[in-house]
Amino acid sequence: MGVVAYGVTADERPLLERALGGTYDLRCLDLILNRDTAATAAGRRVVCSSVNDVLDEEVLRVLADGGTELVTQRATGYNNIDLSAARALGLSVARVSSYSPYAVAEFAWALALAVNRRIPRAVSRTRDFDFRLDGLMGRDFHGRTAGILGTGRIGTAFARVAAGFGMRLLGNDVAPSEECRALGVEYVGRDRLFAESDLLSLHAPLVPDTRHVVDAAALARMKDDAILINTSRGGLVDAHALVETLLAGRLLGVGLDVYEEEAGVFFFDKSLEVMTDDTLARLMTFGNVLVTSHQGYFSRDAVRQIVETTARNIADHLAGRTGDDTLVAPGRADGEGGGGG
């Protein structure tokens, strides 16, 4: 049976080949799946998509016409897939509802520590044998306030580390976590979360209520010397408002592993091209902003779990089974039985 995987990195390929190559006729591509590349899936019953693929009605129709039965996304989020169109076309859709929360939580802390202690600037200097400390002063996280927007599995893992640093913990979530409460997290409204956090880390899914949750008004409430970290979804932050805030000399630092318009940019080499996204280009000019390319999930443990779940999704589809990772299946309402993002 034919399986084609899109957006496959060099590090991910051996794991996919080990999990799927012995059972299926597997083709791994580094292409992003969109209207220009959808025809490459012709004759493949299963498409393994990545989070940056564009699976709108037009693309899904090309897949269905080419013989695809299942789209299984190697990610938790699925806002890039038109589920209604998939159902109308008779396609099944699955995702990876969960994987190692520590991968993303630990990476969020890596960004926070790097921004706070000016590590990228320090490394750049010492490579030029400049060993001055001017401009590199950070501050202790111990005793300061960590705000966590979204206290699911990743947010809870982030909170455990914050508790280990001896920080005061504030949280905001529509469904408070008892484990977070036990760690000492005080649940507060968003306005208070923004106003009191010295370090604000975003771990919420991207839904209508959270799109641009960090907008100009939210940024205005934050402390002038706060640190903002986003390893969740780019759309949580109004990037234009963030640029204006930074231009005003506010915020101690920002760490972004995701960006609202990252599709077609992140995961690609753009070093020889003109950056046409003015907002991203401006963000990259600030010395206190650290941008990475959506790599928070990219640990060996997490990717292995993602690949194993993908293999299980394919096996379930072929056996006529559905589960918590199924988003669309014939005879079932969109997303029924699926976990949260």
* DSSP letter string, 175-222: S--HHHHHHTPEE--HHHHHHH-SEEEE-----TTTTTSB-HHHHHHS
Q: What is the pLDDT of residue 149?
A: 98
In one letter, which amino acid is 87?
R
Is residue 225 classed as helix, strand or coil in its secondary structure? coil
CA distance 325 to 337: 8
Res 40: pLDDT: 97
pLDDT value of position 331: 63
| Angle subtended at Cα 181 by Cα 208 and Cα 337, rounded to the nearest 5 degrees | 45
Listed residue (307, 306, 287, 303) closest to 295, CA to CA: 303
Active site residues: 233, 262, 294
The one-letter amino acid code at 128 reads: D
**Tokens standing for residue 182:** 């036990």
Distance separating alpha carbons of residues 104 and 307, to the nearest angstrom: 17
Q: For 157, phi and psi rounded to 5 degrees?
A: -60, -40
* Paired residues of 328 in beta bridges: 93
In tens digits, the chain (341 residues) has pLDDT values of 999 999 999 999 999 999 999 999 999 999 999 999 999 999 999 999 998 899 999 999 999 999 999 999 999 889 899 999 999 999 999 999 999 999 999 999 999 999 999 999 999 999 999 999 999 999 999 999 999 999 999 999 999 999 999 999 999 999 999 999 999 999 999 999 999 999 999 999 999 999 999 999 999 999 999 999 999 999 999 999 999 999 999 999 999 999 999 988 888 889 999 999 999 999 999 999 999 999 999 999 999 999 999 999 999 999 999 989 999 997 655 444 333 33
- pLDDT for the residue numbered 268: 84
Per the listing, tokens 């921004």 go with 115
Give just the sign of the alpha carbon dihedral 223, 229, 232, 237. positive
What pLDDT sits at residue 332? 58
Tokens of 332: 């079932």
In this structure, the dihedral spanned by the alpha carbons of residues 289, 258, 116 and 124, taken in order and rounded to 10 degrees, is -60
Contact indicator for 306, 300 with CB cutoff of 8 Å: no
Q: What is the pLDDT of residue 153?
A: 95
pLDDT at 267 (0 to 100): 84
Compute the residue count for the chain: 341
